Amino acid sequence: MHIKTDISLKPYNTFGIDVNAKHFVSVTSATELKTVLKLKEYPNKLILGGGSNMLLTKDVNALVIHINLKGIAIVSQDNSSVLVKAEAGENWHEFVLWCLENDFGGLENMSLIPGNVGTSPIQNIGAYGVELKDHFVSCEVLNLETLQIETFSNAECHFGYRNSIFKQHAKGQYIIVNVLFKLTKHNHLLQTNYGAIQSQLEVMNISKPTIKSISDAVIAIRESKLPNPKEIGNSGSFFKNPIISKNHFKQLQSNFPKVPSYPVSEQEVKVPAGWLIEQAGFKGKTFGNYGVHKKQALVLVNYGGAQGEDILSLSKLIQKTIYRIFDISIEAEVNIL
Ligand code: EPU
């Protein structure tokens, strides 16, 4: 464990923003993590996971603690299911691939989501009809006040759409050190209802899908729409899809008859923010070295060398414009630092 000084965070955030960390350390165990947290000479600390859901807008005058805990283990199993524990620093997609190699089902629709296992519960990652909470059993967390390990069950995490207790009143109080998942060993429950998956499976000529072919379909869809952060800096969906009342939606529909929606509850529907942003004329717009992705309007991109502040200003302009045109507030999904 080695504390470095004046380190560029560019390799540590998928947006590829080049800001400096005053101090930086990578920890590989919960014990190392506790040791670092006790260091009094660094009063300000920032926890960094996969860096896939953040926009850095300024230099970080703190000790950045990179959570680099690794390991995947089968904890128990019976005839039909298996409990698998993955450490926080495991790359999410590599973990999904490990599950597929072992023919463990559940996470295949969430293939290729950027980020690490340890940050996946914070925003309850989800894609193509499946959310993390559907397969999450519990997570072990380090309480930053007591430095003791505690366990949060699925119910205790208060999962919602791109939301959990770790984004709400437990924000900043815990570090997730590992996550326990319950996966199927056979008779996998395949989720192919999401339209894009069905059409991709048809394109791939697959009539009897397996968890592997669903993963392949999801990878193909994502690669066709979403920029690869290794090539173009981005943080996936920059905004959440807004949830509005059915009354509000009816008004909206009278002005914009083609507006799509997904049911949420008796009273509410979700409107794809990508559609709103596209209608507002931002899709594919570039402003020098940053802009809105040409194939998916929910994704803001850094073509190389953009400042976090520039991308933040663009996001504010988009929010203001959407509010003016549609009377809908769209909320950032990424954390702005
Ligand atoms: N749409 C447009 N223009 C666009 C983008 C989307 O009109 O540029 C409309 C279309 O009507 C389309 C609909 O939005 O049918 C839905 O688009 P898509 O299937 O791409 O999904 P999304 O709602 O834009 C959400 C997640 C994604 C996830 C996909 C698939 C959020 C904020 N985003 O996007 O998650 O991969 O569904 O499940 O919920 C992420 O969180 O980083 C992410 C990529």
Task: Quick: pLDDT tens for 138-168.
Answer: 999 999 999 999 999 999 999 999 999 999 9
Q: Which of 87, 108, 140, 333 is catalytic?
A: 333
Task: Calculate how far, in angstroms, residue 240's C-alpha sits from the geometric centre of ligand 1.
Answer: 9
Kindly report, residue by residue over 113-129, the tens digit of the pLDDT: 999 999 999 999 999 99
The per-residue pLDDT for 115 is: 92
> pLDDT below 70 — which residues of the chain?
none
- The alpha carbon of 308 is separated from its chain's Cα centroid by a whole number of angstroms, namely 18
The per-residue pLDDT for 195 is: 79
The per-residue pLDDT for 96 is: 98
CB 125 within 8 A of CB 113: yes
Task: Calculate how far, in angstroms, residue 334's C-alpha sits from the geometric centre of ligand 1.
Answer: 15
Kindly report, residue by residue over 217-255, the tens digit of the pLDDT: 999 999 999 999 999 999 999 999 999 999 999 999 999
Pairing of strands 233-237, 45-48: unpaired
Q: Which of 26, 87, 111, 162 is catalytic?
A: 162
> Which residue owns the Cα nearest ligand 1 atom 32?
240
Pocket probe mutation, ligand 1, options 237, 269, 331, max atoms within 8 Å of Cβ: 237
User: Using CA atoms, how far apart are residues 318 and 250, in angstroms rounded to an integer?
Assistant: 23
Residue among 11, 230, 1, 182 at smallest CA distance from 81: 182
> Which residue owns the Cα nearest ligand 1 atom 41?
237
Residues listed for the chain:
337
φ, ψ (nearest 5 deg) of residue 185: -95, -30
Task: Calculate how far, in angstroms, residue 124's C-alpha sits from the geometric centre of ligand 1.
Answer: 16
User: Using CA atoms, how far apart are residues 158 and 164, in angstroms rounded to an integer?
Assistant: 5
> Which residue owns the Cα nearest ligand 1 atom 2?
275
CB 269 within 8 A of CB 198: no
User: Using CA atoms, how far apart are residues 212 and 97, in angstroms rounded to an integer?
Assistant: 9
Residue among 279, 314, 321, 288 at smallest CA distance from 300: 314
- The alpha carbon of 60 is separated from its chain's Cα centroid by a whole number of angstroms, namely 22
Task: Calculate how far, in angstroms, residue 274's C-alpha sits from the geometric centre of ligand 1.
Answer: 6
* Residues 6+ away with beta carbon under 8 Å from 247: none
User: Using CA atoms, how far apart are residues 98 and 86, in angstroms rounded to an integer?
Assistant: 11
In the residue annotation, 324 being an active-site residue is answered as: no
Residue that is written with structure tokens 């698998």 in the block: 84
CB 269 within 8 A of CB 263: yes
Residue among 215, 18, 267 at smallest CA distance from 98: 215
> Which residue owns the Cα nearest ligand 1 atom 27?
127
